Every structure is written in structure tokens, then in C-alpha cells.
Amino acid sequence: MKWFRKLELKHGQSAVRNLMIVLCVMYAAGWVIQLVEGMIYYNYMTLTAADVLHGQVWRLVTWLMYPPSVNPVFGLIMIYVYWTIGRDIEYAWGSFQFDWFIIQGVIFHIIGAFLLYLRYRTGGVLIMLTPVNFSLSILLAFMASYPDAQFLLFFVVPVKAKYLGAFYAVMTVLNFIQGSAGERTEIIISLINVLVFLVISGRAASITDRFRKR
């Protein structure tokens, strides 16, 4: 969209570089806290609108510290994977567009948390949001930008990003069907975040053209 292009031309130079490093540091901090304090810390750091409205405003930020995995080895591997993916996306899009994508996703998740609160508060349901599917939306963005990039599955088997994307799509559908209200909301928000960004940045048209040519 033209307004987005104008905004990028005007403020692109002031964009934050290497924002993915900041997110990965937050993931690592959450991973360390989980190792030291155990799972109980999640009760004070996840995104729950009811607690935010009761004064625990730090949850608007600390939910991003939820690590990709509580498993020590897999957690570190995923933090490294997200860092390399985020670095490559920023290289392809530029810092301004990547920052917009991340900040937009954070805002969408916060809005989703409050919508869930409005929907379920009368039933006494406490729903927490985590950045798990938010992180996976970064993976979807990477697959849209580099469909032919190869991952080494189990560090041995080469698999193209577009095939991993198809596998993730199937798993997302299954998780949506079987998941809780919070998990479904996370999935919907993450998909909306990717689609909205691709549209306003004009990348949806370029992706469509690429598939049409093929």
C-alpha cells in the first residue's frame, strides 16, 4: 500500500536493527528462569488480561519471555533457529518492515487477550496467551520469503521451507480443532498477523505473481 511505502521512506532510517536478537534474549531469559524457578514463574509472566487489569501491567511485555520449549536442548536449538530466521527475514524485508511485523503481532496478541477476557470473564475462565504461535508466524513469514530455502531436519535430512510450511499448515489445523480457546485465538491472531502484513506491505501481490509464473 502507498501509505506504508511512504511511511517506510520517511522513517526507515530510524528502524531498530536486529530486533530478533532482542526477542531471542528474552526467550533465553525465560528459559533460564524456567530452569531455576520451575514452571511456577509462568503464572506471573503470561499474558492474561484479567491480571493486567488488576495492576500486573508487566504481563504486557513478560509474556514474550515464554521460551519456544522448556526442554533444555530443544529450547536452545529453537532460539538459534528463530534468530537465524529473523535475521534472514530482516535482510530480505529491511529493518522497518520486519520491526512493523513484530510489533504488529505483539499488538494483535494483546488485543486478542482482552477480547478473550470480554468473552469468558462471566464464566470465570482464565485464559493465558504465550508467544508460541507468535514465534511460528515468524516461521511462516520466512517460508513466504524463502520457499526454496533448505532446513536440515534432525541436522541430516534436507527439507525445503515450503514443504515444512505445508506440514505446519496441517499441524495448525489439527491444533486449532483440538486446542483450547486460548490456543485457537493464538493461531487466528498469528495467521491474521502474517496476512495483514503481506497485504499492507505489498508482498502478497509479489508472492501471488511468483506462484502464477510457476
Say yes or no to pLDDT of 211 above 60: no
* Buried b or exposed e, range 82-101, using 16+ CB within 10 angstroms: bbebbeebbeebebbbbbbb
pTM: 0.83
Return the SS3 of 38.
coil
pLDDT value of position 95: 92
Q: What spatial distance separates the first Cα and last Cα of the chain, rounded to whole Å?
A: 25
CA distance 106 to 104: 5
H-helix segments, the chain: 2-11, 19-37, 42-45, 49-53, 59-62, 72-93, 95-120, 132-145, 161-178, 181-200, 203-213
pLDDT value of position 50: 85
Say yes or no to pLDDT of 73 above 80: no
pLDDT value of position 200: 86
pLDDT value of position 127: 55
pLDDT value of position 154: 56
Report CA-CA distances (Å) from 21 to 18, 62, 82, 161, 181: 6, 16, 9, 22, 30
pLDDT value of position 138: 80
Say yes or no to pLDDT of 208 above 60: no
The C-alpha cell of 97 is what?
518492515
pLDDT value of position 207: 54
Average pLDDT, rounded, for the chain: 78
pLDDT value of position 57: 92
CB 202 within 8 A of CB 4: yes
pLDDT value of position 14: 84
Report CA-CA distances (Å) from 92 to 105, 144, 209: 19, 11, 17
pLDDT value of position 189: 85
Which positions ≥6 away from 62 have C-beta within 8 Å? 44, 45, 46
Nearest to 191 by CA among 67, 118, 108: 108
- Range from 16-20, 25-29, 133-137, 167-171 carrying the lowest mean pLDDT: 133-137
Say yes or no to pLDDT of 125 above 50: no
Q: Which residue has the higher pLDDT, 140 or 37?
A: 140
76-114, pLDDT tens digit by residue?
877 888 888 888 888 888 999 999 999 998 898 888 888
Q: Which residue has the higher pLDDT, 161 or 102?
A: 102
12-60, pLDDT tens digit by residue?
888 889 998 998 898 888 888 877 776 666 678 888 888 888 899 998 9
